[in-house]
Structure 1
Amino acid sequence: MRKLITAMLALLVAGAVFASGAKEQGTVAAGGAGTAGGGEKKTVTIWSYWETVKHQETLAKVCKDYNASQDKVEVVVKYVPFADFKKQLSIGAVAAELPEIVIIDNPDHASYSAMGIFADITDKVASWPGLSQYYEGPLNSCKLNGRLYGIPFGSNCLSLYYNEDMLKAAGAVPPKTWDELKDVAAKTTKGNVYGFGISSLQNEEGTFGFLCWLWGTGNTSFQIGNAGGVKALSLVRDLANGGAMPKEVINWTQGDTMNQFISGNLAMMVNGPWQVPTMRQQAPNLKWNVVQLPVGNVPASDLGGENFGVIKGDKVAEALDFIKFATDAERIKTYINDFGYIASRKDVAATQFTNDPVMKVFAAQMASAQPRGPHPRWPEISDALSLAMNESIIGIMTPEAAAAKAQKTIDAVTK
């Protein structure tokens, strides 16, 4: 409780400008006529940070279809910019100005569950058909201490892209193990071309990539100070020290990494399926493909995507009714591809991308994708992990020293 109060006070100070945020964002009446008058319908508001027009249009259609399917609830969507989303959600909890549903980045779900914002829906959805069809990773991202506080919306993960011509010229094939990754990266490094690249920023984006290696040793998100953590950090250190990966990756976003790849400056990169449409549009003549990530000790990838979080309050039943509608298997099939997401349900994912071999690789990779954390203080843990990765890549610390330092920080948070 003391940690909760401290967190709330800190967030309240940081977000004193809440009134200029979500309340001023445009509200979309997904049913077309806005909230029904005369108190006939209860209003359920969804907060979403999606700024892509296609995403907004697709979500609005799902809500419109739900509104037309019954006469008790009107769902409306409120756009809140991603940069403000977490602050406004935190301050909204203090000010009692929250929606009924939020679409939330999956690593943040546990933090807000611990703050008491989300309703425990474990027993309410236990009998839902298809609940067992969810991939373990996405479903676990909705949990805290074994209890369920949301339902996965859609997911993505990371896999390995490679330039077919560059690997062929080097007499190499896509790597399946870490040793093969280092070997192929070295063979394809030539002139201005580096063999491998991955976003390694010292933030959540960098952690997102690094965890594939950490988990690949069999470690959890909270273990780095052991032999497995040193092994993961040594992998990125060796790639950089050997010249197969530029040390500039510590400044590259995932978009930067993609741009380097389609410009012909990288033979291989780790990235997600959201890059596929852009690559096909911007580099139609580039010969590239995707395979699952090389394996260390165990297969691993990082889970991205969003969840439906149900706000604790007097409209939990109405919120869940909409979510049950939206997450029906047949209905998901009608919209999930428009988001460029892999369905979090295995039965739906199996039907996606039947004529798209690239996206099928990402769908198969989902079986080894894990959620970051989850932990109420995940941002602090993430910062320690990405810092250790950065320090190892640029060489200001040995992997052993960086691992020990990060573990000390993580232990202070988790113990």
Structure 2
Amino acid sequence: MKKIKALLSCLTAMVLTASIFVGCGSSTSTSTSQTKADSGGKTTITVWHYFDGQQQQKAMENLADKFNKSQDKIEVQVEFVPRAELTKQFTIGLVADKLPDVGLVDNPDMASFSAMGLFADITDKMNSYEGKDQFYPGPISSCKLDGKYYGIPLGSNDLALFYNKDMLSAAGVQPPTTFAELKDAAKKLTKGDTYGLAIAAPKNEEGTFQYLPWLLSTGAKFNEIGGQAGISSLQYLTDLIKDGSMSKEVINWTQNDLEKQFVTNKAAMITDGPWIIDTVKKDAPNLNWGVVKIPKDKVFASDLGGENWGIIKGHHEAEAWDFIKFTQQKDNMNAYCADFGYIPSRKDIAESNDKITKDPIMSVFLDELQYAMPRGPHPKWPEISDAMSTAMQESFTNAKTPEQAAKDAQVKIDAVLK
């Protein structure tokens, strides 16, 4: 009974986080994969994913087809489960033992599911895996909990600073590299109905995702918002609103809203990810823009996005591992990451990909990836995230001073970490 209560408690917190990124589609594709074999004697394993984009779904199907044709012992079937349903299906399935063999989850959810006992401990497999040391620190650390590996990265993305080249040139400023330079540039770029900088700061996981680079750049860790460094990060962003360089409306804006502000010349600079590149080009084909790393305080920092593969505990673990190793091969990883708009999580693959290294935009996100840190990892990340996004809202709306908002958030975080 205690286990069931713990699972349901975790489900409630994670569903709230997942609702930010709700997918579309039917939830009927939730059949389980126990010991199944087709007429040819192949073992069938099932992979659950929540990608609702046609290109992403096709990429998943292509990856499975390529693996199936590469050998004659394992048949991979991919099944789409809407993100709004995935957490519930995993949790209920864990209690009822009705689960797939492999699951793809957002990297901050990895720790929660691992703590619930969903994913197999693959530490021994990882320690003997020849590609283990090739992963960037952020992506591979998101797969660990209490020193053990429970997953392996699918692919990664991060945040960087988009800027309007013409606006910066007209204002006589260079792309900023430090907090001080950014503050000065944002002030000079603010004119009429154009703000110098825009970030997304809603009271949810998306807001936390956008805030973390500023916190981490001060040298603070994700659980140190209430220290002097953490307070300074909140003070810095709040001051940008107070001096008019950033709109008060950022508390309502999503990352998609940032793209619209940018292409309509309402924001000279925004923090966003590579997923908006094609949209920017489509919405404003004549816009003269570039990307640089997020300016730093003490150190460069960014936030890690992307998903992780996890092998369901007790479900064809050997066969699932064979499939996951196949996904990590250079040609395979480059192919699906291109379809996803992701960067390979392995240095040896990403840094030998000319389409990334020689692209003036993607090369910046690649450079940023070495500084991108995961959210947590911690089994109760949703509660930690809520404390941080709440602090942003309180500070940005002047409901509390940055110091008080940060210290109150720290109290909540400390209670979670006990």
Aligned-pair CA distance for 1:361: 0.4
Give the match's secondary structure for 1:155.
Answer: strand
C-alpha change, 1:105 and 1:326, in structure 2 (3 Å) is same
C-alpha change, 1:277 and 1:26, in structure 2 (3 Å) is farther
Contact 1:12–1:94 (8 Å) recurs in 2: no
Q: TM-score, normalised by structure 1?
A: 0.93
Aligned-pair CA distance for 1:363: 0.4
Pairing partner for 2:29 from 25, 30, 52: 25
Give the match's secondary structure for 1:357.
Answer: coil
Aligned pairs (5 A) from 1:16-415: 24-25=28-29, 37-38=38-39, 40-352=41-353, 353-415=356-418
User: How far, CA to CA, are the matches of 2:237 and 2:334 in structure 1?
Assistant: 38
State the one-letter code of the partner of 1:370: M
User: How far, CA to CA, are the matches of 2:76 and 2:156 in structure 1?
Assistant: 23
Give the match's secondary structure for 2:79.
Answer: strand
Aligned-pair CA distance for 1:88: 1.7
- Paired position in structure 2 for 1:8: 7
CA offsets per residue over residues 283-316 of structure 1, 9 Å max, x none?
A: 1100110000100111110000001011101400
Q: TM-score, normalised by structure 2?
A: 0.93
User: How far, CA to CA, are the matches of 1:11 and 1:185 in structure 2?
Assistant: 41
Contact 1:11–1:87 (8 Å) recurs in 2: no
CA offsets per residue over residues 71-111 of structure 1, 9 Å max, x none?
A: 11110011011122212211221121111111110000000
User: How far, CA to CA, are the matches of 1:290 and 1:115 in structure 2?
Assistant: 39
C-alpha change, 1:275 and 1:329, in structure 2 (3 Å) is same
CA offsets per residue over residues 19-67 of structure 1, 9 Å max, x none?
A: xx9861288xxxxxxx863371111111110011111111111110111
User: How far, CA to CA, are the matches of 2:11 and 2:220 in structure 1?
Assistant: 35
Contact 2:199–2:271 (8 Å) recurs in 1: yes
User: How far, CA to CA, are the matches of 2:362 and 2:308 in structure 1?
Assistant: 21
Aligned-pair CA distance for 1:5: 4.5
C-alpha change, 1:12 and 1:386, in structure 2 (3 Å) is closer
User: How far, CA to CA, are the matches of 1:313 and 1:50 in structure 2?
Assistant: 25
User: How far, CA to CA, are the matches of 1:205 and 1:213 in structure 2?
Assistant: 14
User: How far, CA to CA, are the matches of 2:92 and 2:65 in structure 1?
Assistant: 29
Contact 2:301–2:371 (8 Å) recurs in 1: yes
Aligned-pair CA distance for 1:134: 0.3
User: How far, CA to CA, are the matches of 1:301 and 1:388 in structure 2?
Assistant: 19
Give the match's secondary structure for 2:291.
Answer: strand
Long gaps (5+) in structure 1 = 16-20, 28-34
User: How far, CA to CA, are the matches of 2:401 and 2:76 in structure 1?
Assistant: 53
Contact 2:8–2:91 (8 Å) recurs in 1: no
C-alpha change, 1:413 and 1:26, in structure 2 (3 Å) is closer
Contact 1:122–1:147 (8 Å) recurs in 2: yes
User: How far, CA to CA, are the matches of 1:7 and 1:389 in structure 2?
Assistant: 29
State the one-letter code of the partner of 1:337: A
State the one-letter code of the partner of 1:25: S
State the one-letter code of the partner of 2:386: D
Give the match's secondary structure for 1:290.
Answer: strand
User: How far, CA to CA, are the matches of 1:13 and 1:196 in structure 2?
Assistant: 35
CA offsets per residue over residues 352-387 of structure 1, 9 Å max, x none?
A: 324411010000000100000010000000000011
User: How far, CA to CA, are the matches of 2:114 and 2:274 in structure 1?
Assistant: 28
Give the match's secondary structure for 2:125.
Answer: coil
What is the number of equivalent residue pairs in this alignment?
403
CA offsets per residue over residues 320-373 of structure 1, 9 Å max, x none?
A: 000001111233123321211011001111123244110100000001000000
CA offsets per residue over residues 101-134 of structure 1, 9 Å max, x none?
A: 1111000000010011100001023222211100
Give the match's secondary structure for 1:342.
Answer: coil
State the one-letter code of the partner of 1:155: S
C-alpha change, 1:6 and 1:222, in structure 2 (3 Å) is farther
Contact 2:105–2:307 (8 Å) recurs in 1: yes
User: How far, CA to CA, are the matches of 1:165 and 1:12 in structure 2?
Assistant: 48
CA offsets per residue over residues 162-219 of structure 1, 9 Å max, x none?
A: 0011111111111111111111000000000000000101100000010001111111
User: How far, CA to CA, are the matches of 1:408 and 1:255 in structure 2?
Assistant: 32
Give the match's secondary structure for 1:37.
Answer: coil
Give the match's secondary structure for 2:276.
Answer: helix
User: How far, CA to CA, are the matches of 1:146 and 1:70 in structure 2?
Assistant: 33
User: How far, CA to CA, are the matches of 1:51 and 1:369 in structure 2?
Assistant: 25
Give me the identity figure in percent: 51
User: How far, CA to CA, are the matches of 2:86 and 2:30 in structure 1?
Assistant: 14
State the one-letter code of the partner of 2:76: V
Contact 1:22–1:88 (8 Å) recurs in 2: no
Give the match's secondary structure for 1:305.
Answer: strand
CA RMSD of aligned residues (A): 2.0
Contact 1:12–1:91 (8 Å) recurs in 2: no
